[in-house]
Structure 1
Amino acid sequence: MSKPISRTLAVLLLAVSPLALSAYSESNAQEADRFAGVEIKVVPLAEGVAVLFGAGGNIGVSYGPDGTVLIDDQFAPLTPKIQAAIAGLGAEPVTYLINTHWHGDHSGGNENFGKAGALIMAHDHVRERMLGIQKSGRGNDPASAVEALPTVTYHDGLKLHLNGDEVQIKHMKHGHTDGDSIIFWKKANVLHMGDLFFNKMSLPFIDLDSGGNARGILAAADKVLTMVNDDTKIIPGHGPMATKTDLIAYRDMMKTVIGAVVKAQGEGKSLEQVQAMKLAGQWDVNPDAFIKGDAFVAAVYKSVQKPEHVDDHAH
């Protein structure tokens, strides 16, 4: 069932009770209020390339004579602010939209941009998950509206030749989710990592229910480090802009924690015993972090218990 239909059905069902309808309106108003004070901060990175910071995943944007490319789009109520920020760059409305993965803080604006004419692209698994198809014990999430779905999907990646640059889109297997993509502007030397990289504001979130795995995040960091140099500007999924040095530190943290968890598992330690070792303690420094040490170590522990993914496209 698509979101617009289910929403309409909810209103019809709630209409039998004025009190319930009032509660429904109030929840919608609260969602709007939640984003009312959000400002979209625009930071130019290179000629025709910028990053937008708001609420949710960081947004990449490139623009020029061939159109405007948007990487992720945060939450639906923020679409007008994002569109205004893009216009403020002197850019045309969004022509192409690429989702780094399927989570709502990165794809919540898809329906709005899709209706406005953007061509949406993402990995095959992103479309599957947005259709409500889950390959895990989590069950089905509500399907997205048709206009929100990626209409161009790929398995390994794509190249776009736009605005005088080569935009490389590469799938990174089983990292944050099973549908993560990185986007690299070759000439501009800017790379968007999506949620494969949480920079300095939280330990990584590994969505095990969406096919994520700690080893995949480590592999993605290793792969990206072969693509970048000291001048590359790296856009993380969350947190401030990053450099190759920041990504090396992140990779080393992942390698250290995974290695320590593997060793502890080999010694027969339980999850609780491993969590008590505080293996991520030196990096668990933000009291407001989205993911704290125990949750991160639990995700790593469960990741390394799983067999290596051999066929990424097996369902």
Structure 2
Amino acid sequence: MIKYLPIFVTALLFISTSVFAQRDFSEVEIKIVPVKDSIYMLQGSGGNIGLSVGNDGVFMIDDEFAELSEKITAAIRTLSNKPIKFLANTHFHGDHTGGNGKFEDAGAVVLAQENVRKRLKNDDKSAGLPVITFKNDLTLHLNGNDIMAVHVDSAHTDSDALIYFPQSNVMHTGDTFITNGFPFIDLKSGGSIDGDIEAGKAGLMLANSETIIIPGHGELATYSDYETYVDMLKTLRENVQNAINNGKKRSEISTMENLTSTFYTDAEADKSFINGPKIRETIYDSLKAKME
């Protein structure tokens, strides 16, 4: 099993935009990472941004935080002077949708799975709500790609979508796949361990051995990396389920480092948003909810 060592404290990456109201973004730099053809990944502070640039305009995936919108736009302008036509959200969390309103004001059409709009609306975010929504899937034809947005249900949240560029063979997974630690499964927002596993399976079926993967957080990945991550999810689930079957309570499972240490020890994951006890408790809660 390949280990993805946590690169930074991921606690800053998954919480809603309001928590960051007092944060200083002035030192954040936007890094441009070429992916393939005219597709790029941008990294700043928050979820990874995907870009497709070409004669048809700019297609953007996720947008981090509103405070970074000017820097993100400046980075995009080094790649293309075309308008940002569409902005797709992979899910509703603020580190992926915080800039929606800014880019909408600049002319982008925001699109997402229908639960993104519902959840943002419930959070009283009147600006940047998706104006195009889909239930299961949506296809756009831009810059030489038939861009496919595919809903994966009850995974990281209930609003997740995989974005696939078939001609370029590039996929953005949102937070259903990350390369820097244990997964964040947002149970309160419709996520589940079983759904997260199924999302990974769906992504692997949509992709192939040559697909380049833009994860929700972390560095560019390969198909093999993606397989390894899904195998980790399966093993974590199996280990916690076996502990439940053996009569272990939640408080006991929380302390059972051996259930997860094959991938990250509790010491390695200690400074991450999802540490060892947290992932064990989350999987326990998800499995117990399914049993009820």
Question: Considering the TM-score relative to the shorter chain, is it more than 0.5?
Answer: yes
Instruction: Tell me the distance in 2 between the aligned counterparts of 1:168 and 1:36.
Output: 35
Instruction: Kindly indicate whether the alpha-carbon contact (under 8 Å) linking 2:269 and 2:276 is maintained by their aligned counterparts in 1.
Output: no
Report the AA paired with residue 207 of structure 2.
Answer: V
Q: List 4+ stretches of structure 1 deviating above 6 A.
A: none
Compute the TM-score of the two structures, normalised by the length of structure 2. Answer: 0.89
How far apart, in 2, do the equivalents of 1:173 and 1:129 lie? 14
The one-letter code of the counterpart of 1:229 is: N
Deviation at 1:109, TM superposition (A): 0.1
* Corresponding residue to 1:129 among 97, 102, 119: 119
Using the TM superposition, give the Cα deviation of residue 152 of structure 1 relative to its aligned residue in structure 2, in angstroms.
Answer: 0.4
**Which structure is larger by alpha-carbon Rg, 1 or 2?**
1
Query: What corresponds to 2:13 in structure 1?
Result: none
Q: Residue 149 of structure 1: which of 111, 123, 129 is its match? A: 129
**What does residue range 39-188 of structure 1 map to in structure 2 within 5 Å?**
39-132=29-122, 141=123, 143-145=124-126, 147-188=127-168
- What 5-or-longer segments of structure 2 have no aligned partner? 1-19
Higher relative contact order (CA 8 A, sep 6+): 2
The separation in 2 between residues aligned to 1:190 and 1:86, in whole angstroms, is 19
Secondary structure at the aligned position of 1:288 is classed as coil
User: Which is further off, 102-111 or 224-233?
Assistant: 224-233
Say yes or no: does 1:224 pair with 2:214.
no
CA contact (8 A) 1:176 1:205 kept: yes
The TM-score with structure 1 as length reference comes to: 0.82
- Stretch of structure 1 that moved more, 222-231 or 247-256: 222-231
The aligned length equals: 268
Q: Distance in 2 between matches of 1:93 and 1:44?
A: 20
> How far off is 1:91 after superposition?
4.2
Superposed CA RMSD in Å reads 1.4
The question of whether the paired residues in 1 share the 8 Å contact of 2:156 and 2:196 is answered with yes
Q: CA separation in 1, counterparts of 2:86 and 2:251?
A: 46
Aligned: 1:290 with 2:280 = no
**Unaligned regions of 5+ residues in structure 1, if any?**
1-26, 133-140, 309-315
Query: CA–CA distance in 2 between the matches of 1:260 and 1:45?
Result: 36
Do 1:83 and 1:93's aligned partners in 2 also have CA atoms closer than 8 Å? no
Amino acid aligned to 1:306: A
| Partner SS, residue 307 of structure 1 | helix
Aligned-partner SS, 1:182: strand
- Aligned position for 1:7: none
Distance 2:260 2:71 in 1: 37
Secondary structure of 1:169's aligned partner: strand
Could you list the per-position Cα deviations for residues 26-76 of structure 1 after superposition, in whole angstroms to 9, with x for gaps in the alignment? x96x43xx2101110001112211000110000000011111111000000
1:195 partnered with 2:178: no
Whether contact under 8 Å (2:58, 2:80) holds in the other structure is no
Greater CA drift, 96-105 or 261-270 = 261-270
Between the two proteins, what is the percent identity of the paired residues? Answer: 41
Report the Cα offset of residue 287 of structure 1: 4.1
The equivalent residue for 2:233 is 254
| Cα deviation, residue 90, structure 1 | 2.2
